[in-house]
A and B are shown apart, each in its own frame.
Chain A
Amino acid sequence: MKLIAAMSGGVDSAVAAARAVEAGHDVIGVHLALAANPQKYRSGARGCCTIEDSHDARRAADVIGIPFYIWDMAEEFHDGVVEDFLSEYAAGRTPNPCLRCNEKIKFAAVLDRARSMGFDGVVTGHYARTQISESGKTLHRAIDHSKDQSYVLSVLTVEQIAGAIFPLGDTTKVDIRKEAEARGLAVAQKPDSHDICFVPSGDNAGWLRDRLGSETGPIVDQDGNKIGEHKGAYTYTIGQRKGLGLTVPTSDGSPRFVLKIEPVSNTVVVGPREDLAITTMRGERPVWCGPQVSGEAHEGFVQVRAHGAALPCTYYFDGTLLVAELKEPLLGLATGQAMVIYDGDRVVGSATICQTE
C-alpha cells in the first residue's frame, strides 16, 4: 500500500514508520506543523510542536530512508482543536484535545488529503491494534495496557479505521525503545510527551485564565449558600478537593468536593463526597468504531479517561444518546469527557458525556 506516516518527532511514530516500510509498504513521512508560531529552538521536547521535534522527525525519516515533508495544519488544528478546547471549558465541560486532534486532524484532514493524493492510508505511532473480522476492520486495545491509546482513537469512524495503520499495538513501550535503538534512531530515549501540546508551560489553568479571563465568582453549597470565592470557574474540575480556599467548615468536619461547574452564573457548587457518585452516564454525538449499537442492553465496559479503568456496565443506544449504566458507582465525572464503550478489548464506540446521574 501507499501510506503516509505521521511523524511527530517522537520514538513511537518513528518506529511505526520503520515497521510500515519493513512490511513492504511504500511510505512517505509527514510531520504536521500544528502551531501557528512554533516555539524557538531548544525550548525542550514537549509535545509535538517545537522546531526541534520537526528536525527529529526529519532525521528519523532520513535514517529509515523515506521521503519526508512538512504539512502545515496549524489553521485546522487551531479551529478544530484549540478553539474547541477553549469553548468546551467556557461551557463548563472538560474536553480531551488529543481525541479531538485524532478526530479532526490526523484521521480526517490528513487522511482525506492523503487519499486525494493517491495514498491508501495513514500510519501513526498510537498504541492500538486493528483486526479484520466479518464486520470489517475493528479497533482494539494495545497489548501494553499501560500505554493503550484506543481511548483517544475511539472517535474514528469505520471508514477512518479502514485507512488507519497502527504498527505498534502488539509491542510494549519498553521494547519499542529497544527497537528504536537497534534501528539507529536517535530518538530512542527521547522522553515521552505529556500534557497538552499547545500549552507549552504545562499550566493548563493559567493558560485558560489568560484566554478566558479570571472573573471571580461564588463557591456555593448544594443549598445555594455562598461559602467561598473562586478565581475563574473553568480552572476547577469535578471531584476536586484541594485548593478551594473555603473558610466555612461543614458541621461534621467532612471535606467538600467540586460537584458542578455552572458557567452561565459563574458558580462552582461543592458538596460531600457521596454526592459525587454517579451510576448512569449519557453521551451525545456517538461514533461507532464498528457496527452501530442497538437499543437492547449489552454487557461491556465503559472508560471515561484516557488511562482510566474499564468499568463494568450495561450499555445501549436510545436512538439519540449512548447510555451506560454502571455496576458500581463512580465518583467525580465531568461532562465533556468521552465515554468509550469496550466489548472485551474491542472498541465499540464513543460519545461525549452530556448527562450524569
Chain B
Amino acid sequence: MSPAAFKAISSQMQVLGNPSSLHTHGRSTRKSLEDAREAIARQVNCLPSEVIFTASGTEANNIALKGLFWQGKAHGKNIVVISAIEHHAILDPAQWLADHEGADLITVDVTADGVIDLNSLEEIINKHRNEIAVISVMHANNETGTLQPISEVVALAGEIPVHTDAVQSFKKTPLSFADLGVYAMTLSAHKIGGPLGIGALLLRRAVEIPALLHGGGQEREIRSGTLNAPSIVAFAAAAEDNYPRENVIALRDQFISAVETLFPDVIVNGKNAERLPGIVNITFPGTQSDTLLLLLDSAQVSASTGSACSAGVHEASHVLLAMGHTEESAQSSLRFSFGSTSTKADLDFIVSVLPDVIMRGRAANLK
C-alpha cells in the first residue's frame, strides 16, 4: 500500500462512526467519505454523484454488466457484446447472463497485437443495433497492457450503453470518464496502491439500473451495505498519489531491450500496440511458464502466468489465444509488472537471474 493510503486507512480506522448515522460521529465519517468520493471523481473526471463504492472491481463489473443487460432486456434488447480478451470479472458474468438469463453473447475478436477489431465490432453493431443491451470492452488488458480504443467503441455504439473495465488503466494512463462518453466504468483501489477489497463503479447520472444487493440502498440505491470508510479514504489517498509514468516506461523499455538481447527468439506480446507503462508480456519459446514462475520465485522475482483454474492448474491464457497464440506458446508466456516503486536495481537483478531460469526451464520442459 502506498504510504499515503496506509496513513489514511490507519487514521480512519481509529475514528468511530457509521457514515449512515445521523449523529456527530456518523456525520464526521460521512464527511471524510464524501471528501474521498470528490477526490476520486476529480482524478477520473466524473461527478462525485457518479461514484458508487463497491467491495471490488469484480462487484462493480457485475453491477454494470448485469444491470445494463436487465435494463436493456426490459426494452427487448437481449444481446451482450464483449471483447475476447476481457478479464474473468467480465467473461464470467457475461457467460452467466447467457446461461441463466437467456442473453445472446457476442464476443468480438482482437488483432494479433491484442486490440479489439473495430471492423468486426462495427459489423456487429450495424447488424444488431436495436438488439444490443450493453457493450463492455476493457480500457487496457491486464495481461498484455494493450490499450483499447474506447472512444471509437463509444462512437460506433451510438445510443448503446458502453461499459469499460478500467481497473488496469486508472492512474497509469490518462483516463477521463466524461470525455470517453461511456455509461459505466470500473475502478479498483489495490491496483493503484490502495487497499484490497475496495472498488468503485462510475455510473453516468440518470442511468437507472437494477441493483444486485438490496438492504439499505446506501450507494444511490444501486449498491447496499455499510460503507467501508477506512478503505474508501485510503482509495482516495492512493488516487491522489503521483504515478511516475515516464520512469516506469523507461524501466519497461530497458527491460524489453535487455531480454531481447539475451534471448533473440522471445516474443513481446502486443509490442506494436499502445500499452500501459508497467506491464510486459513475453513468450519464451521452449519453456512452460509455471516452471519459470517457480524458478523466478525461488530467485525472489515475482512474475505471473496468465491464469489458473479453480484447482490452481495453470491454463493457456485466453488473451494470448485470442491474439493467435497456440496452446503451447501461450503456456510459454510470462507477465512482468513494474510499478511506482520499481528501480533500475530491480531490473538489473531480474536480468541477472533470467539466463539460468530460462536454461533450467527449457531443460525441464516435458512437452
Contacts and interface: CB of A to CB of B under 8 A. Distances in A.
A28 interface: yes
B311 A118 contact: no
Interface in B305-362: 308-314, 360-361
A70 B310 CA distance: 11
Contact of A51 (B295, B311, B363, B364): B311
Interface string A139-156: 000000000000000000
Given A69-B290, A72-B290, A109-B366, A117 B311 contact: no
B366 A74 contact: no
A75 B177 CA distance: 47
A238 interface: no
A109 B364 CA distance: 10
A31 interface: yes
Contacts of B364: 112-113, 116-117
Interface residues of B, number: 19
A14 interface: no
B296 to A, nearest CB: 11
Interface in B197-244: none
A191 interface: no
B272 interface: no
A118 B366 contact: no
A113 B313 contact: no
Given A67-B297, A117-B291, A117-B295, A31 B312 contact: yes
Interface string B277-317: 00000000000001101110110000000001111111000
Contacts of A28: 294, 298
A58 B312 contact: yes
B293 A69 contact: yes
Contact of A54 (B291, B298, B312, B366): B312
Contacts of A74: 313
Nearest to A72: B313
Contacts of A31: 312
Contacts of B361: 117
B312 A33 contact: yes
Contacts of B366: 76, 109, 112-113
Nearest to A69: B294
A73 B361 CA distance: 16
Contacts of A69: 290, 293-294
Contacts of B294: 28, 67, 69, 117
Contacts of B360: 116-118
A70 B314 contact: yes
Contacts of A41: 310
A324 to B, nearest CB: 36
A69 B364 CA distance: 15
A54 B309 CA distance: 12
A38 interface: yes
Contacts of B313: 33, 38, 70, 72, 74
Contacts of A71: 290
Pick from A38, A51, A58, A118 the residue with the most CB of B within 10 Å: A118
Contact of B310 (A51, A58, A117): A51
Interface in A68-124: 69-72, 74, 76, 109, 112-113, 116-118
A6 B364 CA distance: 17
Given A69-B293, A109-B366, A117-B291, A33 B298 contact: no
Contact of B311 (A38, A112, A113, A116): A38
A89 B158 CA distance: 64
22 contacts: A28-B294, A28-B298, A33-B313, A38-B309, A38-B310, A38-B311, A51-B310, A67-B297, A67-B298, A69-B290, A69-B294, A70-B312, A71-B290, A72-B313, A72-B314, A112-B364, A112-B366, A113-B366, A116-B363, A117-B295, A118-B295, A118-B360
Interface of A: 28, 31, 33, 38, 41, 51, 54, 58, 67, 69-72, 74, 76, 109, 112-113, 116-118
